[in-house]
């Protein structure tokens, strides 16, 4: 598929099903811990500075944000998990919103699940991966902030992450940096293959 990735815009924000776009365009959702770099990933992939709003403050993204890419596909920016300073009630609301989207959305082709290359995956990261495998949702693991680790140590960090996740070798695993754009072409290849 030919996609002009520069032709991108925010389409809408949704809290539940009744607000999702009603068409058949394929969607790729971004999941990951708060502050891991989901919105930055979208901006980098689309060559935009701040289309998906990023921030040093975790919890910036609160709703499902749908981005239209050239009227051919969408990215769906999902609020991050594991942000400590939210109430139990808010966490439950978050859980229902994500679960509804991930388990019922027919447009969903794959989830890009972001983890931080610097650290072992958190319990929430492992749970998200297990959830996606359980529902047989295709997953692309993107290990981000690779610019913060010297190249000579990438392999070691990659192995540690794969081990902790109980990574299925048939899934994609991509080392990525929004600062250097490392992994961007590979990420596009993996995404286009899922559409
Ligand atoms: N060095 C480095 N910093 C990054 C990278 N990706 C994101 N960041 C920084 O990490 C912080 C959080 O990035 P966001 O993209 O807002 O993270 P998010 O996952 O969308 O966060 P929430 O919306 O809160 O869930 C920002 O300060 C980014 O500049 C990366 O690849 N390298
Ligand atoms: Mg965000």
CATH number at residue 79: 3.40.50.300
| 11 within some domain | yes
What is the domain range of residue 127? Answer: 6-191
How many folded domains does the chain comprise?
1
Pocket test for ligand 1, best of 115, 178, 184 (most atoms within 8 A of CB): 178
Summarised one tens digit per residue, pLDDT across range 6-28 is 999 999 999 999 999 999 999 99
Could you tell me the distance, in angstroms and rounded to a whole number, from the CA of residue 91 to the centre of ligand 1? 21
Q: Is the CB of 151 under 6 A from ligand 1?
A: no
Summarised one tens digit per residue, pLDDT across range 142-184 is 999 999 999 999 999 999 999 999 999 999 999 999 999 999 9
Beta-carbon contacts of 192 under 8 Å, excluding residues fewer than 6 positions away, are 1, 3
| 1 within some domain | no
| Distance in angstroms (rounded) separating the CA atoms of residues 62 and 11 | 15
Q: Is the CB of 38 under 6 A from ligand 1?
A: yes
pTM as predicted: 0.96
| Cβ-based neighbour number of residue 4 at 10 Å | 10
């Amino acid at each position: 598929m030919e996609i002009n990735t520069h032709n991108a815009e925010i389409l809408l924000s949704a809290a539940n099903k009744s607000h999702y776009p009603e068409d058949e365009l394929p969607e790729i959702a971004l999941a990951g811990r708060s502050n891991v770099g989901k919105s930055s990933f979208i901006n980098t992939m689309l060559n935009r500075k701040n289309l998906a709003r990023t921030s040093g403050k975790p919890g910036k993204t609160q709703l499902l944000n749908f981005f239209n890419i050239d009227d051919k596909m969408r990215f769906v920016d999902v609020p991050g998990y594991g942000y400590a300073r939210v109430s139990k009630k808010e966490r439950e609301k978050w859980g229902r919103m994500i679960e509804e989207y991930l388990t019922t959305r027919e447009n969903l082709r794959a989830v890009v699940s972001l983890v931080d290359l610097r650290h072992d995956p958190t319990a929430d990261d492992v749970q998200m991966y297990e959830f996606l495998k359980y529902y047989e949702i295709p997953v692309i693991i993107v290990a981000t902030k690779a610019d913060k680790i010297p190249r000579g140590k990438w392999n070691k960090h990659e192995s540690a992450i794969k081990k902790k996740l109980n990574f299925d070798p048939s899934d994609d695993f991509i080392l990525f940096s929004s600062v250097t754009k490392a992994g961007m072409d590979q990420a596009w290849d993996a995404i286009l293959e899922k559409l």
